[in-house]
Structure formats: structure tokens, C-alpha cells
Structure 1
Amino acid sequence: MKTFFAFLLFPMLCLSQTPLDQAEQLLQQKKYVEAEQLLSSYVTDNPNNLKALEFYGDAFGYQEKWDFAIVQYKKLVKASPKEANYHYKYGGALAMKTLQVNKLKALTLIGDVKEAFLTAAQLDKNHINTRWALVELYMQLPGIIGGSQSTSLKYANELEALSKVDGYLAKGYIYEYDDEPELAEIYYKKAITEGGSITCFEKLSNFYENTNAPEKALATIEASQAKHQRNALHYQIGKIAAEYNIQLAKGTKCLITYIKNYSAEDGVPIAWAHYRLAQIYKHQNHKAKALKHINLALSERPQITVFKTEKERILSL
């Protein structure tokens, strides 16, 4: 259920600088505390402004303050019960709340989670994200409280009718979760053929990693790189090479390229690329090179425990 909230928020263009525009801009800039503070006073003065309530809930959600997000989204549901997205956000916040409480408390919330998502699905027959939420929910729930592969597949089929790529990815997820790797692979590959986005390639490569097929994972990422030409994929190739001790020369080349072309948009900090290079050189028994790169990693991120552990391993060569 951790993926639910990733779908909840959508950036919009700011055309002016009213308080709501300022709040929206702060959310886009990931300044969630500032957005929360701005919206706190605005919502107090404008308690019936639904957009303000939504942004306020979003600000809490981004900070994983689910209790506060739930309060705001519940207000939206009560104020506008025919708006599918409000039910979806409310259900998503409740779902995330279940991950923070004990199992008994979580069980008391599941009914409300289901009701919110099902209501959203009924209100909007084209709401893709709600159907994704229902696919995940029914797969992850134990059978005794309503979990069901067949129900999950029902919503995957609805997704496929709306978007073939989403439908294929959903079915890949279902079969991977249900330990049916042959079917999972088929649908992840169908998603690549149909859409070919980085996300599609990533789902298949992650599947191969999860099923201990690193060579296939590496080939999938290389295919993605050939199509999309993203520097971030150089890191992913190097990561798999380092983790599984395969194709080390290729991994080294890709990591060096990643460091050379790095920008903040690539996501993974350079320190991690140095860490992966240290792993590769350790596999090759190049102690001096391994130490050089693990020290570079530690100089940038001295608090990372795995870096410290890796240095100890290198020193013991």
C-alpha cells in the first residue's frame, strides 16, 4: 500500500500569487512545512474552500502526517460526496495510516479504506489511480478479511480497458505477488511492447531482480537505456553489476559515466555511485581503488552505515 500516496498529488501551473497559488507552488517545490504553515491560517479563515482543504491535506500527506491528512480529506468527502478524487485521497491516507498502527487497529480501518476506494471507483468509471489502489488492496489483504486475487484481477481488467499499459502492469504485479513468475513476466513484457516507458522497463527489471535473474535485469535496463538515454540508468546498470558480481567492466564504465554526467535530476547521489564502484573493485581484489571510492562515498555521506560496513570489508582484503 505504500504506493498509494504516490498517485494522490498532481502538480498544476501557478498563474498568480494568491495564497492558494503560493501554497501550490510550495508543494511543487517540496516545501511542505512552509505550505502547511501558510494553509493553516488560510483554512482557518476560509473553512469552506475545498481547494485549500485539499492542499492542506496534501501538505500533511507529503510529510506522512496521516492523521492530519485524514481530517482534511474527510472534510472534503463530506462537503462534496460526489467527487471521486476526494474519496480516493481519503482512502489513500487511511491506507497509509494502517501501515503505522498495530494489526488490530489496522483491521478497524480496512473497512473505511475499502468503502472510500469503491465509492471513488463507482463515481468515476475512468479513475485509473483508484483502480490501481484496489488492485493492490485486494492482493495485499489476507483472504479472511476480503483479500482476493479474482477481485484484484477484476480491477486490473477495468484498468486494461482504460489503459492497456496500466492493465498489463497491474496483471504483472498481481501474478508476481501471487508467485506466478511466468505470467508476471509475460504481462510486464506486454507493458513494454505497448508503452515502452521507463516505468515499464523498471517493473520488468525489478521483477528479474526479485526472482534472482540479474543478467535479465541488466539486459532490460540496457534496453531501456538504448531507448530513453537517461543517465540515471547508468547507475542502475552499475548497481546490478556490483550487487551480483556480474559484467564488472560494463558496470565500472557505466558508473564512471554516471558520475561524469551527474545532475540532481538523476536522483541517486554520487556517493552511491562511488559505493558501487568500491564494491566492484572489491570483487576484483583491487583494494587501493576500492578504498579510494569508498572513502569518496564516506566523505559525502559519512552517516551511511552500509558505507562504513563496506570499508571494513575492503580493509579486510
Structure 2
Amino acid sequence: MKAFYLFFLIVTVGFSQSKLVEAKKLIDNKSFSKAQNLLEAEIKNQPNNAEVIELLGDAYGHQKKWDEAIEQYEKLTKIDAKEANYFYKYGGALGMKALSISKIAALGIIGDVKEAFLKAAALDATHIEARWALVELYMQLPGLIGGSKSKSLKYANELQNLSKVDGYLAKGYIYEYDDEPDLAEKYYLLAIKEGGSLTCFDKLTNLYETNNQPEKAVSNLEQAHAKHHRNALHYQIGKVCAEYNVQIEKGEKCLLLYLDNYSAKDGVPKAWANYRLAQIKKYQNEKKTALKYINLAIAELPKIDVFQEERKAILAL
């Protein structure tokens, strides 16, 4: 009898593990609803299994079902009150709910969001994500309800001690948010020098575009391309040139390269490159060529209003 029970236990555990593996694959493949259904059935058999609860919370979160995600992550914080990541996920779900409701209603949640992130940071001195969350939270909150640039910088310094790149990016974010573009540029440049990831380059490009510095944006994108050799960067260069009517010959060349080398992994549909080419040709008063490109854009994505507006502007030349 004992042997049978042991065999039954092994089979049951093995079956449950296979369900978890399947759920993880579904989440990785963005089949969140299917993962949710599988995990909701599994949690009836294992109501206190932290792995099942966490995965179910993740499945809900990916679908923006914040109340359901909050419920699962809160369970985790009670199962293991020393696991930082549980508090981080709980705070994250609460924060996303706060963003999805009215500002007045959100006020009742903000304290719990902050408490969860602070708990995660206190439990794990190396938890980078929790510190990033606190950097952003303290910058975005009004001073009357706990916002504080100095506290945000405190966690940015902690990030810098853990990862120089993250620290520099966090400080760049703080100064950009606080409308100090020169200091933001300084730290984004330090992040590029230290790490040089596409994220680092993107942050600096966005800063330049936000502050109406297209020439600097183009230069930064060219440096990013020299390092990473991504076709998507051809589009980004062309976009900036077309939007700001600068270096349009370079912009046209880059957009044509983007189209010639296009693949689905580049992200931006070809229609947008054709739209940018139409803009450039409009600047050059080449009406016929501009119409060719805008018609190609509309043929691919006919419901994009800005394409239709561009066509009207070209026809009016």
C-alpha cells in the first residue's frame, strides 16, 4: 500500500510539473489566455503552490487583469514574506492598476505600491528592478503625496553601485523628467560609454528629439548603427530626417536601405518607410514620386489617418 501511494505521488508530481512547463511555454509564446485557463485548473489541485500562483499572476498581468494579478501576488507575499520578487510583482500590479483608474481612486493605492517596492528593495540589496521602480515612482508622484527627487536620486545611486549603466540611465531619466536636458544628456552619454546597448542609445535619441535637436539625434543613431548594425536604425535615421526636414538626402538613402533589407524582425512596417519617403519627396517638390510612395503606404495600411492627410498635402502641391 505504501509503495502504491509513493508511486501515485510521483506520478501526480510529474504530471503537475509537466503542466507548469506547458504554462511557461504558453506565456513565453504570448498565449496568455490559454496559460490562464491551464493554471486556473491547476491551482485547484495546488492552491498553495507558489510557482503555480506566480505564473497565474503573470498570465493575468500580461492581459492587464490587474485585480486578478494583485490577488495572486498578494498571496505570494503571505506564503513567503522574505522573497523580494513577490513584493516587487505585487507593487508592480498595484501600480499598473493605479494608472488604469481615476487619479482620485489611485490615491488610495499609491501607499501600498510604495510600501511593496520599498519592502522588495529592503529584502534584496541587489534587486535592480525594485530600485528602478522606486526611482520612477518618486519622480512621478507629486510632492504632496510623497514624490521626492532626492529619494529618487538615492535609489539611482544604489542602482549605480549595482550596475553603472542602470545608475547612469536612472539619473538620465531623473534629469530628463525634471526638465534638465544637459544633465540628462551627460548621464545618457555615460551610459552609452559604459554599456552601449541599444537602450542606452534610444534614451539619448529620444532626449534629442524631445528637445528639438534632430541633428544630434541623427548623429547618435549613426553611432548606434555603427555599433549594432541593425536595419531598424536605418528607419529611425530616415524618420528623424523626414520629420524635421534635415539631412534629407541621408534620410532618403537610409529609408531605401531599410526597405531593401526589410524583414519582419525590424518591427516597423514598410508602409511607414514609404510614408517617410513621401515626406522627403514633398520637401523636394517631387510630387509624382511623393505620390508613388504615399500610395504604397496607403495600400499596405489604408486605415492610418496620417497617411491620408499626407496624400492630401502632396496633392495640394
Same fold flag (TM > 0.5): yes
**In 1, distance between residues paired with 2:144 and 2:43?**
41
Partner of 1:50: 50
Partner of 1:185: 185
**In 2, distance between residues paired with 1:285 and 1:98?**
49
TM-score, length-scaled by structure 2? 0.92
Deviation at 1:45, TM superposition (A): 2.5
Partner of 1:128: 128
Higher helix share: 2
Deviation at 1:17, TM superposition (A): 8.0
Deviation at 1:248, TM superposition (A): 0.8
Partner of 2:36: 36
Partner of 2:234: 234
Three-state SS of the structure 2 residue aligned to 1:205 is helix
Task: Give the gaps of 5 or more residues in structure 1.
Answer: 1-15
Deviation at 1:124, TM superposition (A): 0.4
Partner of 1:84: 84
Three-state SS of the structure 2 residue aligned to 1:18 is helix
Counterparts of residues 91-130 of structure 1 (less than 5 Å): 91-130=91-130
Deviation at 1:117, TM superposition (A): 0.1
**In 1, distance between residues paired with 2:251 and 2:183?**
30
CA RMSD for the aligned pairs?
Answer: 1.4
Task: Give the gaps of 5 or more residues in structure 2.
Answer: 1-15
Three-state SS of the structure 2 residue aligned to 1:285 is coil
Structure 2 residue 84 is matched with structure 1 residue 62:
no
Q: Deviations over 1:193-239 (max 9, x none)?
A: 11111111111111111111110011000000001101111111011
**Residue type matched to 1:35 in 2?**
A
**In 2, distance between residues paired with 1:36 and 1:192?**
39
**Residue type matched to 2:154 in 1?**
K
Q: Which structure has the bigger radius of gyration? A: 2
**In 1, distance between residues paired with 2:278 and 2:31?**
35
**Residue type matched to 2:107 in 1?**
L
Q: Deviations over 1:271-300 (max 9, x none)?
A: 211111111112222222222222222222
Partner of 1:141: 141
Spell out structure 1 runs of 4+ moving beyond 4 A. none
Q: Which has the higher contact order (CA 8 A, sep 6+)?
A: 1
TM-score, length-scaled by structure 1? 0.92
Residue range with higher mean Cα deviation, 244-253 or 303-312: 303-312
**Residue type matched to 1:225 in 2?**
H
Counterparts of residues 1-317 of structure 1 (less than 5 Å): 18-317=18-317
**In 2, distance between residues paired with 1:301 and 1:44?**
45
**Residue type matched to 2:63 in 1?**
Q
Quote the sequence identity (%). Answer: 64
**In 2, distance between residues paired with 1:171 and 1:223?**
22
